[in-house]
């Protein structure tokens, strides 16, 4: 039985909730059912969770949260704690194909059969899996708990089931299951946060510890954030003297643009290798993806799934295409039109402010010059936010069967809009108005305003709301229990009221836009890189803080790379080649070389640009995505499994020939 | 025992060599050792081939070619026939992970355990594998026959071996093994050729039969050739009226250029899907690639292979890089320089011919106008040929460990040179001289001359040489045997003297250049597509003929796509977007729209070009590489194997819990 003592120190991973507390096992995951759930349904669900695997159950431990005596307060009593035995978790790890470090230092899929050969396996296997891995396994087992022959959830005639339907997903989409989340581990969290953000000295983040506590997906995000920030350092260092000595000579930016070009190409290729290295060390690089279940919100008429042969909801692809092309696409286009219209208003305001300043140039009117940009930056942020919700609603309505397809459509919608919304005005200023002074001014205002807004929206606001809520909960729990301390109950209550972390989407999106500001136009405003570096240093701290204290602990998500974002960043860097070449072509320095023939200047710039783009593709093609030493390790693993298979075949053949004789 | 009767009709696949002929089994593969091979080495090799697999042998049947009585002629007597039992071949098929059609119509990896569930499996499995599959399996078994504890080949102290070294490869690189090749099957070959090229009516090629006889690699080449030809039809059909009605009005090519643009993008994306469909039907789409052995020519000092942990020759990567960058690269650049120099001479000749024609325009001097282009075309072909040999020599000298790496470096070298050599003059004429009449004239001459030369070099010359040689062999064999017929011996002798087919490289290269002529510049010479269509129709016939009658039967090569050529064609089509946009910009029609502002014209063209290139990438990204219905089949297979694994685990767990009770 999995029993996690915080004080014993024997196990590396221990939950702080312990000492009996009225629960007979170490709880890992909390299930919260709706307050008015029928008793019949609860009994049924608990028995399905507890049932042996052979009978189609999840074979987990589950108990009600012990709330103690006679309370009449409005507290949801339908909160359940889920735990597991070590053996069950090890079986789950094998089912999921979790990779762990082998004795020889390579990463291999865990199997119970040769578990003794894994590096950190001791005794019965306590502490072999990290708490976040255990929670991930439990989530997977709950998610794949399937209906057998039930036609509906007991007590709810209308909540229909069919063989093979995920019980948890149905309960969730019908609102019977309010939420389920993994518990924080106070001890480990304290250790993590002190090595992560509770120190002032500059150093690398403890990525392995972050991965250990939050999983690979989040650790890769922080790894990328760190890498991006460090990669910006040289650009920031070059930017400062540029800024100091050439403030009004914005014709000397050619060298900086060339630097930008090379940097944005190399940056992403090196990251790919670094991410492969991280993912290999975490065992997610060569792990096979699990078979994808339909997403919770997916609905449709019952039909046959051609892949599994099971009955499940199906939704015709042509209907979805109609929704995408007849509703979503026009909506996106409309939003883009509105965004461009707002841009036009901004330019109107800009001209108006300038005319006032020209009429009577004093301090007040010179401040007024900045107002339009600031207002525009705020409006952009608000529009991005509103559009984000609309895009999510629309993509949800498109009724994608798989989470990955949903994500791709959402990312595409959001990226296109954000790109146009944030950068259209800069493109217009740079290439239509060709006003480099305004470009610099506008870029600076946009960047600074959006950074300030982001930090407020992302960390301080949720934290403040959180604190207010926590105080209330603390009070309620105290009142409920008299003055008696009941730390586990309190922890569960507190965490269940925390905000839910919605994934890395918004964090990556922010980095994507910052990357855009830096790579597209920073040559005319060299301080951009400096600003982004400062932003990202505070971002690390505020993101780390919000992960540890503002949000519920998220289930760890295995990831081998940053997924669709790699493509997004690469697209941006290809666009950066175009803009930097164009900016070089517009620079007075270069134009001086072609005093009379505009045509020749343009042709030269275009030719150089094509060569650079071709070079970029060749470079991306030549640099291997996975470092050599990891390639060798992967090949070794494959070779060994082939050899093992051959040996097995040979033995079988020998046995057959023996019995035939 | 595998016994292939040609007359019985019971087996679908039968070799025509039969009726005893002095060989106790149906021979499939011929091994030819050097005439002066030591008897000791022969005995050792044969025993290793015959030895059981448990003892590290290949477990195949092998016998000397029965040459009959007292001949004193100079005939190599060290020719051996290799065959196998059906059971051995089925085991080999399983080892190799060959995919065959399952009862339910999906393609699955063959396993002996559930062989009865495969569609065409009957009785003991005779005829389940095609002859070419059998030969491929035998080749694989011979190739992976490894040295055990021998330190050298018996009889050859200097031909050293070490445990794990492929015996056949060592013998081959030392010249002891002259060649080994699969035998043609006269009956099947006759049937194949009559359905393939011995008919005049236009129809699709029997791709499945070709694959059945020659393997997937070659079938995919012919599939691509056919697809390319059909895809050119619309362009050819549009080209004819263009040619007929606008002969001297070469300013009306804008529409044609736009058509070209779209066509070259769609063409390759659709081919990817078609090739996936073909490869799925042939069972190579999801087959895992076998572990790659070092290529025969690879040499180096003995060291530890980090992947297999075996001792084998190693060659330091930095040395190879030095050879590549300090020798190969300068050599390629030198060749490019020479090629450009030849181009300069060509333009000199062109000017000279024009000046003579202008002095005295009559029929003779008007013929003279074509002479420089024709000479240039011939010189280009000769340079391509010479360079081809040099590139192969250099790449061999670079000492690549793996065949795939060798191929990539060879393809890159050859493609870059061929591209410059063939197209540099056209680029110069089009964009520097901007002389569309000369471009048309030059393109036509280059295309027609190179087509004629190619057909001669590729099919007629080898065929003629072949016939002369065959007559000699016929005579010799007759003389040797008196007048007694000995068909099998004769067949083996004949085939061993046929040319060896060196793979699809040159065939794809030719198509690549033709694709270049059509997609880059055909808008100014619409007849190009027509010429290429005619060329390819005769190409199908001559290629088919040469495969059946000029060359030794090649070992079949499993392939799931056209490999590096897909990338090469895609690169060409991206370049085609650029050239077609530029040609549109140069057209008088378009220039009429921008009467005064050259700058604006160029900017417009560049913008359109960027949009088109972006659109191209998006399209390639959106169109799935594998058609939906095949994706479903693949997903189904994966799902079933996951389910089977899960069930197996569950059963094991149940058993363990039973025994524990």
How many CB atoms are located within 10 Å of the residue B263 CB? 21
Q: In whole angstroms, give the CA distance from residue A92 to residue A141.
A: 8
> Which one of A408, A570, A577, A653 would you mutate to disrupt binding with B, by most B Cβ within 10 Å of its Cβ?
A653
Q: Do B650 and A53 touch (CB under 8 A)?
A: yes
Shortest distance between the Cα of A496 and any Cα of chain B, in A, equals 34
| Both structure tokens of B158 | 């200097």
Question: Residues B93, B94, B98, B101: is their CA dihedral positive or negative?
Answer: positive
- Biggest distance spanned by C-alpha atoms of chain B: 110
Label the pairing between strands B61-64 and B79-83.
Answer: antiparallel
Which of B39, B17, B36, B30 is CA-nearest to residue B74?
A: B36
- Whether chain B has a CB inside 8 Å of the CB on A603: the answer is yes
A308 touches chain B (CB under 8 A): yes
pLDDT score for B489: 79
CA distance B517 to chain A (A): 21
CB-CB neighbours of B83 under 10 Å: 24
Minimal-distance CA residue of chain B relative to A290: B642
**For A379-419, how does the pLDDT look when each residue is reduced to its tens digit (9 = 90+)?**
999 999 899 999 999 999 999 988 888 988 999 999 999 99
What tokens appear for B257 in the block? 């250029």
Q: Does B578 touch chain A (CB under 8 A)?
A: yes
Cβ–Cβ gap B649/A91 under 8 Å: yes
Nearest chain B CA: its distance from A639 CA (Å) = 7
List of chain B residues whose C-beta atoms are within 8 Å of the C-beta of residue A54: 650, 653-654
- C-alpha B353/C-alpha B355 separation (Å) is 5
Confidence of residue A657 (pLDDT cuts 50, 70, 90): low
Distance from CA of A612 to the nearest CA of B (A): 14
Specify whether the CB–CB gap between B636 and A307 falls below 8 A.
yes
Q: What is the pTM of this model?
A: 0.86
d(CA A449, CA A373): 9
Which is more confident, A617 or A311?
A617
CB–CB of A615/A86 below 8 Å? no
Q: How far from the centroid of its chain's Cα atoms is residue B585's Cα?
A: 38
CB A373 within 8 A of CB A441: yes
Which of residues 479 through 538 in chain B touch A, CB cutoff 8 A? none
Which chain B residues are within 8 Å of A646, Cβ to Cβ?
Answer: 95
**DSSP conformational letter for B547:** I
> From the first residue on, what is the mean pLDDT of each consecutive set of 10 residues in chain B (661 residues)?
37 38 77 91 93 87 76 74 90 86 84 84 82 91 87 88 85 90 88 80 81 92 93 87 66 75 86 92 81 77 80 86 94 96 94 90 86 91 92 93 89 93 93 87 89 80 74 66 63 84 89 92 85 89 85 89 90 91 84 80 89 87 86 84 75 69 58
**Which of B291, B602, B610 has the CB atom closest to A642's CB atom?**
B291
CA–CA dist B78, B64 (Å, integer): 7
B472 CB near a chain A CB, below 8 Å? no
List all residues 6 or more positions away from B653 whose beta carbon is below 8 Å from its beta carbon. Answer: A53, A54, A91
Q: Is the pLDDT of residue A368 over 90?
A: no
| CB spacing of B642 vs A598 below 8 angstroms | no
Q: Say whether residue A599 is in contact with chain B using an 8 A CB cutoff.
A: yes
Each residue's pLDDT tens digit, A164-211: 788 898 898 888 999 999 998 888 888 888 888 776 656 788 899 999
Closest residue in B to A601 (Cα) is: B599
* Structural domain boundaries in chain B: 22-183, 207-315+399-625, 628-656
Nearest to B419 by CA among B270, B520, B342: B520
CA–CA min distance B116, chain A (Å): 18
ipTM: 0.82
In sequence order, what DSSP letters do the residues of B13-59 get, joined into one string? S--S--S-TT-SS---EEEEE-TT--HHHHHHHHHHHHS-GGGT---
Question: What SS3 state is found at B100?
Answer: strand
* Shortest CA distance from B52: residue in chain A: A654
Query: How would you class A403 by CB atoms within 10 Å of its CB: exposed for 0-12, middle for 13-18, buried for 19 or more?
Result: middle
Q: Which residues of A298-323 are buried (b: 16+ CB within 10 A; e: fewer)?
A: beeeeeebebbeeebbbbeeeebeeb
Two structure tokens written together for A20:
């009996």
**Record: contact A599-B598, CB cut-off 8 A:** yes
Segment A537-577, tens digit of pLDDT: 888 888 888 888 888 899 988 888 898 899 999 999 999 98
User: Is the confidence at residue A515, as pLDDT, over 90?
Assistant: yes
Report how far residue A372's alpha carbon sits from residue B580's, in angstroms, rounded to the nearest whole number.
Answer: 44
**Euclidean distance between CA atoms A312 and A292, whole angstroms:** 14
């Amino acid at each position: 039985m999995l029993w996690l003592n915080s004080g014993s120190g024997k196990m590396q991973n221990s939950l702080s909730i312990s000492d009996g507390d009225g629960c007979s096992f170490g709880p890992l995951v909390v299930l919260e059912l709706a307050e008015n759930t029928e008793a019949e349904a609860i009994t049924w669900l608990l028995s399905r969770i507890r049932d042996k695997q052979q009978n189609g159950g999840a074979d987990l431990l589950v108990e009600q949260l012990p709330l103690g005596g006679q309370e009449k307060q409005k507290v949801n009593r339908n909160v359940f704690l889920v735990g597991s035995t070590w053996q069950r978790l090890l079986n789950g790890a094998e089912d999921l194909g979790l990779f762990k470090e082998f004795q020889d230092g390579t990463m291999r899929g865990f199997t119970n059969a040769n578990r003794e050969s894994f590096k950190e396996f001791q005794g019965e296997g306590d502490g072999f899996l990290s708490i976040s891995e255990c929670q991930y396994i439990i989530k997977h087992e709950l998610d794949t708990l399937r209906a057998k022959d039930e036609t509906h959830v007991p007590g709810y005639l209308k909540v229909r089931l069919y063989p093979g339907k995920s019980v948890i997903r149905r309960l969730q989409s019908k609102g019977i299951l309010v939420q389920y989340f993994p518990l924080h581990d106070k001890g480990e969290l304290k250790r993590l946060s002190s090595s992560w953000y509770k120190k002032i000295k500059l150093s690398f983040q403890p990525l392995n510890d972050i991965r250990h506590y939050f999983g690979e997906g989040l650790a890769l995000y922080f790894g990328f954030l760190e890498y991006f920030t460090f990669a910006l350092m040289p650009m920031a260092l070059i930017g400062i003297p540029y800024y100091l000595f050439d403030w009004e000579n914005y014709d000397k930016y050619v060298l900086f643009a060339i630097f930008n070009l090379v940097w944005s190409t190399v940056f992403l290729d090196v990251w790919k290798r670094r991410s492969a290295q991280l993912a290999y060390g975490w065992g997610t690089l060569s792990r096979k993806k699990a078979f994808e279940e339909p997403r919770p919100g997916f609905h449709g008429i019952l039909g046959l799934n051609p892949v599994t042969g099971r009955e499940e909801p199906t939704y015709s692809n042509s209907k979805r295409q109609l929704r995408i092309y007849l509703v979503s696409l026009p909506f996106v286009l409309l939003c883009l039109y509105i965004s461009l219209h707002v841009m036009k208003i901004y330019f109107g305001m800009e001209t108006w402010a300038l005319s006032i300043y020209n009429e009577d140039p004093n301090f007040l009117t010179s401040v007024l010059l900045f107002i339009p940009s600031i207002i525009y930056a705020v409006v952009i942020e608000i529009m991005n936010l509103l559009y984000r919700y609309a895009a999510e609603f629309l993509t949800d309505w498109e009724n994608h069967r798989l989470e990955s397809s949903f994500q791709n459509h959402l990312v595409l919608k959001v990226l296109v809009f954000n790109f146009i919304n944030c950068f259209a005005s800069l493109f217009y200023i740079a290439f239509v108005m060709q006003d480099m002074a305004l470009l610099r001014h506008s870029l600076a205002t946009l960047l600074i305003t959006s950074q300030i807004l982001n930090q407020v929206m992302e960390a301080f606001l949720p934290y403040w709301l959180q604190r207010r809520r926590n105080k209330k909960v603390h009070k309620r729990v105290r009142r409920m229990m008299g003055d008696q301390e009941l730390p586990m109950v309190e922890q569960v209550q507190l965490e269940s009221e925390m905000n839910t972390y919605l994934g890395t989407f918004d964090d990556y999106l922010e980095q994507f836009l910052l990357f855009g500001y830096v790579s597209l136009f920073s040559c005319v405003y060299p301080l951009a890189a400096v600003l982004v570096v400062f932003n990202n240093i505070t971002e690390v701290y505020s993101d780390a803080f919000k992960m540890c204290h503002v949000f519920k602990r998220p289930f760890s998500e295995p990831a081998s790379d940053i997924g669709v974002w790699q493509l997004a960043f690469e697209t941006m860097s290809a666009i950066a080649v175009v803009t930097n070449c164009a900016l070089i072509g517009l620079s007075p320095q270069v134009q001086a070389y072609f005093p009379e023939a505009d045509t020749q200047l343009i042709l030269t710039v275009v030719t150089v640009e094509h060569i650079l783009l071709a070079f970029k593709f060749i470079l991306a093609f030549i640099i291997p995505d996975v470092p050599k030493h990891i390639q060798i390790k992967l090949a070794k693993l494959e070779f060994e499994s082939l050899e093992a298979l051959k040996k097995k075949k040979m033995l079988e053949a020998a046995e057959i020939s023996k019995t035939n004789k």
